[in-house]
Every structure is written in C-alpha cells, then in structure tokens.
Amino acid sequence: MKLTMLGTGNALVSECYNTCFVLSENDEYFLVDGGGGNGILHQLKHVGMDWKDMRTIFVTHKHLDHIMGAVWMIRMICQHMSQGRYEGEATIYAHDEVIGLLRGMAENLLQKKQTKFLDERLHLVAVEDGETKTILGRATTFFDIHSTKAKQFGFCMDLGEGRKLTCCGDEPYNDSEKSYVENSTWLLHEAFCLYSQADIFSPYEKHHSTVKDACELAESMGAANLVLYHTEDRNLGRRKELYTEEGKNYYHGNLYVPEDLEVLAL
C-alpha cells in the first residue's frame, strides 16, 4: 500500500495545496478529502494518477479546504457519466452533514442531466461514528473526532497482521480516539507549525497542534510511524528539515514530513 500526499497545507496556504491524500493498493484508490478546489485535478495529474480511478472518496468535514475539491470530483464524475465517458460506479463517504452539503451543492450547481446519476451510479453514503466499511479490501472504521468546530470524522484502517493506519483529521487528538490511535503503525496527524513559532502562527487559537504536540502524542500512544501535515507554508523550503529537527526531540519513531506529491510506502 502507498500513501500519496496530494496536498499538505492548511486552509490558507498559497505555496502548496490543501491537505488531501490517496491510499492505493493493487490498482485501487481511496481519496481522502479534495482540497479547496479544482486543484485536486492538477495534483492527481502531476502525481501520475487518473482522477477516474478515484472510485472511493472520503470527506472528513465541511471546511472549504477539504470539501470543495470533492465538489469538483462530483462534477467531473457526473459530467463524464452524462457524456458516456465514465464506466461503472463511485462512492463518496462522509458523515450526514457533509453528505447533505455535497448533495445540496451538486443539485444547485450542476445540470439535471448530471445530477441524475447521484445515488444511481455515484453513491453518497453517510457513515456513523464507529461504522466499518471495506475499503481497499481492508476493514476501515470511521469515527467522530469530537471537533470543537465543525463535526469531523477520521478513520482507522486495518492493515492486517496487527497493523493499522489511523487518520485523525485536521484537529488535535481527542481522548475519545484513543482506541483507534493507540499503537497505530501509521498515525496521520496535523501540525500547524513549529512549537518554537507558536507565537507567530497562534495554532491553539485555531484549535491546532504544533510539531512538538503531535510528536509527544505519537510517543505517548506508541505510534511506530508519524506523518505530519496540514501545516503553514511560510517555512515550506525548509519545512521537512525544521519540523524533523524539532520533532525528534519528542518522538523516537519514524517521523515523516512529506511535501506535496510525495509518496510513502506503508
């Protein structure tokens, strides 16, 4: 299985794309979030992926930097279905509020000849807290991260042989997530900025973590591998170096600070 980071930035970045990624295995793909617009199509193209292969999509929450790219995916899928240039079906998972928003935007922004494929071939599926679906042939459990802002879900994927990948969304860890996060083989967690630059970026006011916070969490939870994303972009040129340097003081597992379009083998 591979993890391809299409975007690694927070909502207001301009030097990289908003956080979204693809898990892939055996020519199957799982797209998580879409970033803030049709840049999702550019990112997929430039990493060598065909947007038509994104047959399973998950949208964590309704913030613009996550949901708008998914709207563009809906448009592309439905438009090509209406033109007879898209074979088969596709599924978008999200909690009920996001599914309602996606359906409403599609029905209000797209043509009826396109939206007629909603539920017929493009399935908008609301998932509940603790509900498990099979994705990439793996048991994948969605969970409420209990956000203090917009309702948001993460997920935990069973990688087999006691291994698991846990995505905490784009907010700090909540104790309600412990059963999913603890002993993760791969933990995906946001890190808005360096702890040493918290006075510049004010992450706590935005309900986000610093590198130090995320690394201390991963250390305490026994995560073997930690991937940091959803960052600021003012340190982009040295982000990997700076974040790794700070993080290694608090976390002794394998720390990854990927760039946009970087691929990690899981």
pLDDT in tens, the chain (266 residues): 999 999 999 999 999 999 999 999 999 999 999 999 999 999 999 999 999 999 999 999 999 999 999 999 999 999 999 999 999 999 999 999 999 999 999 999 999 999 999 999 999 999 999 999 999 999 999 999 999 899 999 999 999 999 999 999 999 999 999 999 999 999 999 999 999 999 999 999 999 999 999 999 999 999 999 999 999 999 999 999 999 999 999 999 999 999 999 999 99
Q: Is 99 in a helix, a strand, or coil? A: helix
pLDDT in tens, 2-28: 999 999 999 999 999 999 999 999 999
- What is the model's pTM? 0.98
**pLDDT value of residue 148:** 86
**In terms of CATH, what superfamily is 2-265?**
Ribonuclease Z/Hydroxyacylglutathione hydrolase-like (3.60.15.10)
DSSP string, 205-262: GGT--BHHHHHHHHHHHT-SEEEEESB-STTGGGHHHHHHHHHTTT--SEEE-PPTT-
Domain boundary assignment for the chain: 2-265
Q: What pLDDT does 224 receive? A: 98
C-alpha distance from residue 237 to each of 53, 106, 232, 260 (Å): 31, 37, 11, 12
Ramachandran quadrant class, 106 (left: phi over 0; alpha: psi -120 to 50; beta: rest): alpha
